[in-house]
Structure 1
Amino acid sequence: MQLQGTFSNFYLLPNFTKEEFDNYIYELFGTGPTRPPSKRKIEKMVLVEEDWRPLHDPQYFTEETKYKNVHYKMRCMNHHYFLQTSYELLQQTCYNLIALCSDGTNMCKMSNKTVEGVFCKLTEGTTIPECDYESTYMHGYVIITCRWNNETQEFIPHTINNMVPHT
């Protein structure tokens, strides 16, 4: 059957390369460790555009998670942050002095500049699309974890750990 040649790119999502799609499927169904952090992953999962929707919107996270497809192996995230900042600011933060993480360890870094963001906490649901979240607007210093990327020989922002309110 001649479908092979025309069918090969059918499953690709918009703006995904074949490699990114394969990585996404691996993270979704794979049993091994998750893939290392990447600039593209942070841009897709954490950073938001300024004019997308107001950060004060109480339904911000519920809608944004559907738009950005935020989940872990089809399960709702217990909490998550969306930030209105640049990737470059987050990457610069990886080279700042050590800051205290929310769990009490000294593995985090805190930004020198304030950012706006939304903290979201799961209120109900366990699997997508039943996830509902409570969204809280925040303005402050972001605390992140970073991981070394052997390929690019630089630190890559990995997770948003917390935000310290700006006073």
Structure 2
Amino acid sequence: MRTLLTMQSLPLLLLLLQPLPLQVLMQGKYLGLSDHLAEELEDYIDELYSTGPTKPPTKEIFQKHVIIPPRVPLYYEYDCSFEMRYRNVHDRFYCRKEHFFLPVTYEELQKTCSSKFVACKNGVKRCHKTEKIIEGLHCKLTSGIRMSGCYYETVYKKGYALITCQWQDDIGEIIPEKVNDILEISGKQ
């Protein structure tokens, strides 16, 4: 038999049984994280679930997501599916349609940001072309929608990299933002 008291207290009881909000859990004592790690996790969660634009690119993110150590031979040692998961490359846990890995130094790509504009692969004239021919990996999504179910075809390319650049206020310099394409060379140069 239900009484007036039990019918009114059921919604209150359900409210009390809800899990603690993430902000409460983020206060180091619940997860046992250092203040620095808790702040990084909170920023990551905020960006992941926000509906606005993503955080601007940083030098560290570009290095982590694009630069790979130069090794020989490049095309035998890397698998895009593994590298994308290992380096945590995604767009809010959705698979990227394509991505590039380059075995060059960050400084070399940053110098490219000072070169004149050239057309990107979509025709918009806001890319910069590397001075030297470089090797790289082009990762093309073959199946999957969300991480970690993303699978990529690994394509070895050799040519000029097209990159976009952006000003980063906190360090006061222009930085590479994204690799747009690798223009494969034809014939001997």
> Above 0.5 in TM-score?
yes
1:156: which partner in 2? 175
Identity within the alignment, %: 36
2:34: which partner in 1? 9
Aligned-pair distance for 1:82? 0.6
Runs of 4+ in 1 over 6 A off after TM superposition: none
Aligned-pair distance for 1:49? 1.4
Of 114, 118, 128, which aligns to 1:95?
A: 114
SS at match of 2:81: helix
SS at match of 1:84: coil
2:93: which partner in 1? 74
Q: TM-score, normalised by structure 2?
A: 0.75
CA separation of 1:131 and 1:107: change in aligned 2, threshold 3 A: same
2:132: which partner in 1? 113
Which of the pair has more CA radius of gyration? Answer: 2
Judging by fraction of residues, say which structure has more helix.
Answer: 2
Output the CA distance in 2 between the equivalents of 1:159 and 1:115. 16
Aligned amino acid, residue 67 of structure 2 = L
Q: TM-score, normalised by structure 1?
A: 0.84
Output the CA distance in 2 between the equivalents of 1:131 and 1:147. 28
Segments of structure 2 that go 5 or more residues without pairing to the other structure are 1-27
Aligned-pair distance for 1:27? 2.6
Residues 1:41 and 2:61 are matched in the alignment: yes
SS at match of 2:69: coil
Aligned amino acid, residue 32 of structure 1 = G
CA separation of 1:33 and 1:129: change in aligned 2, threshold 3 A: same
Aligned amino acid, residue 36 of structure 1 = P
Output the CA distance in 2 between the equivalents of 1:34 and 1:96. 27
SS at match of 2:120: coil
Output the CA distance in 1 between the equivalents of 2:31 and 2:119. 52
Judging by fraction of residues, say which structure has more strand.
Answer: 1
Root-mean-square deviation (Å): 2.4
